[in-house]
């Protein structure tokens, strides 16, 4: 499996605190079947994204763990005016593997018009936004029609693995299932922060998706689409069929 969202770099945000914990998280990921994982430290008002410091920790951790897992670098990019201006100026500072895909986290209270314009600015600049864990965002839980509009614009969607297992409560689980049923999920990732509570173990979620939906769907969301992101290849973003779209709009009311 390939995990495109994790907080495994030590001491840069609310994820791993020490290098030892980072290594332990990566060992756990590898033991549960993950071959590649993207470190995505926050760029937010709370956590400053210091590119040089982040890259230094990334190189150190990658070297320590290269024998059992491949580490890649990206960013958990909080969509704000200052971040947007900087990303448009220097996109490779934030994108996964300095390519075209950017993990984008939205505020809890979403100003839908402003967010859509910001996302479209990224798209026009050749950056593909990947909306992170919308199922956990209270605004988006009830406005999946807006998420559909963003996907039509060119965005992609990542859901957190543990949302399907109930870790973030019934509302997040219900929203994740509705997004799956509406065919609006392109990736499932861990958003791991530690080795105990929010872990990088994707195996239980992979089994759940494979059993409830299909093995082919699990392979697409945990392996094939994430592989395309790592290598800068196009991701299959087929829009939902008209019947699915009707269901999606009904569920958003």
The residue extents of the domains of the chain are 2-252
pLDDT range class, residue 68, cuts 50, 70, 90: very high
How confident is the model at residue 110, as a pLDDT? 85
With a pLDDT cut of 70, the percent of the chain lying above it is 93
At the topology level, CATH places domain 2-252 in TIM Barrel (3.20.20)
Using CB atoms within 10 A of its CB, is residue 26 exposed (0-12), middle (13-18) or buried (19+)?
Answer: buried
pLDDT in tens, 156-213: 999 999 999 999 999 999 999 999 999 999 999 999 999 999 999 999 999 999 999 9
Q: First vs last Cα of the chain: how many Å apart?
A: 35
Q: Which residues contact 167 (CB under 8 A, 6 or more apart)?
A: 160, 197, 198
pLDDT in tens, 201-242: 999 999 999 999 999 999 999 999 999 999 999 997 666 554
With a pLDDT cut of 90, the percent of the chain lying above it is 88
How confident is the model at residue 242, as a pLDDT? 47
Which residues lie across from 159 on neighbouring strands?
188
pLDDT in tens, 78-137: 999 999 999 999 999 999 999 999 999 998 888 889 999 999 999 999 999 999 999 999
Average pLDDT over residues 5-9: 98
Q: List C-alpha distances in Å: 182 to 150, 153, 170, 177, 239.
A: 14, 17, 18, 9, 9
Q: Please tell me the distance from the alpha carbon of residue 128 to that of residue 154, in angstroms, as a whole number.
A: 7
Using CB atoms within 10 A of its CB, is residue 152 exposed (0-12), middle (13-18) or buried (19+)?
Answer: exposed
Question: Token pair for residue 103?
Answer: 């993990």
How confident is the model at residue 252, as a pLDDT? 47
How confident is the model at residue 238, as a pLDDT? 62
């Amino acid at each position: 499996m390939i995990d495109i969202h994790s907080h495994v770099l030590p001491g840069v945000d609310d994820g791993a605190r020490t290098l030892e914990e980072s290594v332990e998280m990566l060992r756990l990921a590898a033991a549960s079947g993950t071959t590649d994982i993207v470190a995505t430290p926050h760029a937010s008002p709370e956590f400053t994204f210091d590119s040089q410091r982040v890259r230094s920790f990334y190189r150190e951790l990658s070297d320590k763990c290269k024998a059992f897992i491949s580490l890649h670098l990206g960013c958990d990019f909080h969509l704000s005016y200052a971040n947007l201006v900087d990303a448009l100026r220097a996109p490779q500072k934030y994108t996964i593997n300095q390519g075209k895909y950017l993990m984008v986290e939205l505020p809890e209270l979403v100003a839908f018009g402003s967010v859509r314009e910001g996302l479209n600015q990224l798209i026009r600049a050749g950056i593909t936004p990947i909306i992170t864990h919308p199922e956990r965002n209270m605004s988006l839980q009830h406005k999946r029609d807006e998420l559909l509009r963003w996907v039509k614009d060119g965005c992609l969607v990542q859901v957190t693995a543990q949302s399907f297992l109930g870790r973030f409560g019934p509302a997040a689980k219900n929203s994740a299932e509705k997004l799956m049923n509406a065919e609006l999920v392109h990736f499932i990732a861990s958003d791991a922060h530690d080795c105990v509570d929010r872990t990088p173990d994707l195996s239980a979620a992979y089994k759940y998706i494979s059993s409830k939906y299909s093995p082919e769907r699990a392979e697409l969301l945990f392996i094939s689409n994430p592989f395309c992101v790592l290598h800068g290849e196009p991701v299959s973003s087929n829009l939902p069929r008209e019947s699915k779209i009707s269901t999606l709009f009904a569920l958003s009311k």
